[in-house]
Each structure stands twice: as C-alpha cells, then as structure tokens.
Amino acid sequence: MSRHTQILAKWLPNLAEYETLFKEYRDLQSNIECLINRCNLLLQKFNMRHTTRMNYLIDENEFQASDIEDLSVTIETMTEKFESIFKQLDMKDLHPLTLAKFANNRKSLWNGKLKLQFLIQDIIQEICSLYLIYGDSLFILAIRISLAFNKLYNLDKKYELKSDISICNNGCPCIMFPMRKFSVTRLLQIVALNRAELCCHKLIDCLLDTYKSYQQDDDDGSDSSSLEIYMTLTKHMTPHQSYERLDEPGIEISEKNENGFANLEELIFHEERRVIGVLQIILKNAPEMLGTDGVRRCKNTGIVKLNTKAQNKALEYYEQILWGEVSNYLEHVILWWASSPLAARLPHSSQHLREWIMQFIPTGTGEFHEYTGC
C-alpha cells in the first residue's frame, strides 16, 4: 500500500463493523423484489378471476386462499425486518461518509417499501371483494395484512422516512392520493363499494315487486320498468326498521306489510347484519383497530364487546357509502341496462316522467314573490 493510500485510509471510516448490517440490508432488498413479484402475480390472478367464467372452481379457490395466507405470513415477517433494519440505520453520531451510506440505504429501502405498500393496498381490496363470496377466513387474512400495512406506514413517521414525492422510479405508478392507514371505516368502505352493484339490482327487484302491489292511477303510458322504479322511489319509500327491533321476539316481517316494503326491509336488515358481522370479526382478530372508544369490557365477565355508539356510527357510515354508490349504479341501470332503458327511448316518451319529476324540483319562485311583496 502506497503512502498516499495509507494517509487516505487513515481518514476513511472503518465499515467492517457494519458488514453484518449491510448484508441484512442486501438480503432484505432481495426479499423485497421477490415479494413484489409475488404480489404482482397474485394481482394478475385476481384480474383473471374477474374476466374468466370459471372462477367458481373449488380447487382454484383453495389454491388462491393458500396463496393469500402464505403471502400474509411473508408480509408480516418482512415488516419485522423493515423495523429492524431501519432502527439500525437510524444512527446519528457517525462519520459523515458512514451517515451518507446509511442515508442512501434508507432511501433505497423506502422506495422498496413504498412499492410494496402500493401493491398491498390493491391486494387488500381484492381480498375484501372475495370475502363477500368465500367467507370470513379471507377477511381475517385481509385484517392481518392491513395490520402489517399499518406498521409499514408508521415507520415513515417513526424514523422520519417520509418523502415529498410518492414516485419510486419510472417503473412504479405515481400514487395519486396520499398513502393512508387501513382503518375500520376504510375496510367498511371497500366492502360497501363491492356490495353496491348487487344491492342495486336487489333494490330494483324490491321496488318493482312493491309497485305491482299498488293500484296505478297514473297514465297507462308510464308502465315501463324505468318509470316504475322512479315513481316507487319517491312515492312509496318509508323509513326502515332498525336491526334491534327486527331482533326482538314476536316481531316478524310479513310478506306484505301495510307499506308493502317487506323485501326492502329484509335487504336493509341483511346489510346491517353484514356490517355487524364484519365488526365482530375485527373485534376478535384486531381490537386495536377499533380504538379505545370502540370497545368496552364487561365488568362482570371481562368479555370485550363493541361499544354501541361506535357500532351505530359504523352502521351509519356503511349505509351512507353503500346506498350512495347504489344510487350511482341505479342511474346507469335505469338509463342503459334495463329491458327498456330510457336512453334508448324517444324524448317525448318520457315526457310524463319529466313533468312528474319537475313537481319535486323547487324553482325559487315562491321565495322571490315573498321578498318582492307580490
């Protein structure tokens, strides 16, 4: 070794003591790439399920369930490794060159973590849609992956990793919206959005059945399915019973009650029970997601139960998302998907409907006369 090299080496930091850390970092980078490939492959399978008509095969469903379970275990293990590496790379009082190398490694890991989080989000959404078909076991896996995702998300704040941009590289799509944690409300939102289309068609069936039970005094030209739906929505809608009342003994939903809305009551009741079932699964597997205000412990038995107020808020939130999305689907169904959609009819054929709707639209004329003294 030359004299100049010896002089330079004297001032350079000794990185040999961090060789174990650097090896763990390289192994984690390799594992990240493998996990990203697995996530992409699983998402491709999900997309194939949406496009194929053979998605009901039992063997295929079991195979995908095992894939998801293995992936959830890998993500949980990977989260612990991220925590360990970032903690070691968070050293402060080091040589400037060592700090620069640590900062570069932290940035590289953050890029990999962001790409992984982006894919995990899509996987959780797909699992929640499958849960509606294949049962609670998949939703439990979605909760486990959501908890791991939240731990990855919290690392940004804990170790000051958050960047001003959300782009990893040219191969990763830009995340258009800020990354946010998976909460109970976010999971309920995903479930509601996946239930909306089915509930839309069920609602139309309920409304048409209800409308047929009434004597129509309107014009005979308004008997198309689209007009029936519109008229039933505004004329015969009544507040639904709460699920507590439906649970009381001795109260039965008759096939045709005085308002003729037995089927609609059952539809709403079924969706409410679904939300309560989701909350019970979360309470059993991840009570921390409900927060301290969302659960209460029974003084006598010590059993943890859902807080009634929190449960009612969750029900209200779910119904707001669900029926708001149902209204969007309903508009498209009436205009385009029905047996005789309005969009395919001549304008004058729906003139009766327009005149009927106009009576519910305020024009502001009354207020104007009031203020002008007319």
User: Could you tell me the domains of the chain?
Assistant: 17-181 (1.20.1050), 190-357 (no CATH)
The pLDDT, as a whole number, for residue 254 is 41
Write the pLDDT tens digit of every residue in 280-337. 999 999 999 998 888 888 878 778 889 999 999 999 999 999 988 988 887 777 777 6
Asked if the model's pLDDT at residue 11 lies above 90, the reply is no
Report yes or no: 35 and 104 within 8 Å, Cβ to Cβ.
no
Cα–Cα distance between 252 and 258 in angstroms, integer? 13
* pLDDT higher at 54 or 299: 299
The pLDDT, as a whole number, for residue 75 is 95
How much is the average pLDDT of 86-114?
88
What is the value of pTM for the model shown?
0.74
Asked if the model's pLDDT at residue 359 lies above 50, the reply is yes
**143-147, 162-166, 239-243: which range is least confident on average?**
239-243
Please report, as a single letter, which amino acid is at residue 77: T
Q: Sorting pLDDT into bands at 50, 70 and 90, what band is 78?
A: very high
Residues 6+ apart with CB under 8 A from 290: 184, 279, 282, 283, 306, 307, 310
Write the pLDDT tens digit of every residue in 247-284. 433 334 344 444 444 678 888 899 999 999 999 999 99
**93-107, 137-151, 333-347: which range is least confident on average?**
333-347
CA distances from 223 to 237, 327, 328, 354 (A): 19, 21, 23, 14
Summary mean pLDDT of the chain: 76
Q: Sorting pLDDT into bands at 50, 70 and 90, what band is 92?
A: confident
Residue by residue, DSSP assigns 285-314 as H-GGGG-SSSEEE-TTT--EEE-HHHHHHH
- CA-based torsion, 6, 10, 11, 14: positive or negative: positive
Residue by residue, DSSP assigns 95-146 as -HHHHHHHHHHHHHHHHHHHHHHHHHHHHHHHHHHHHHHH-HHHHHHHHHHH
**Main-chain phi, psi angles of 87, to 5 degrees:** -65, -40
Cα–Cα distance between 50 and 46 in angstroms, integer? 7
The three-state secondary structure class of 260 is coil
The pLDDT, as a whole number, for residue 73 is 95
136-158 vs 184-212: helix axis angle to the nearest 10? Answer: 140
Largest CA distance in the chain: 107
**Main-chain phi, psi angles of 242, to 5 degrees:** -80, 160
Share of the chain above pLDDT 70, in %: 63
Tokens of 64: 């995908």
**152-161, 189-198, 231-240: which range is least confident on average?**
231-240
How much is the average pLDDT of 82-105?
88
Cα–Cα distance between 123 and 131 in angstroms, integer? 12
Please report, as a single letter, which amino acid is at residue 25: Y
Q: Sorting pLDDT into bands at 50, 70 and 90, what band is 151?
A: very high
The pLDDT, as a whole number, for residue 210 is 65
Cα–Cα distance between 109 and 75 in angstroms, integer? 15
Asked if the model's pLDDT at residue 52 lies above 70, the reply is no
Place of tokens 């024009």: 363
**Within 13 A of 231's CA, how many CA atoms are on the CB side?**
24
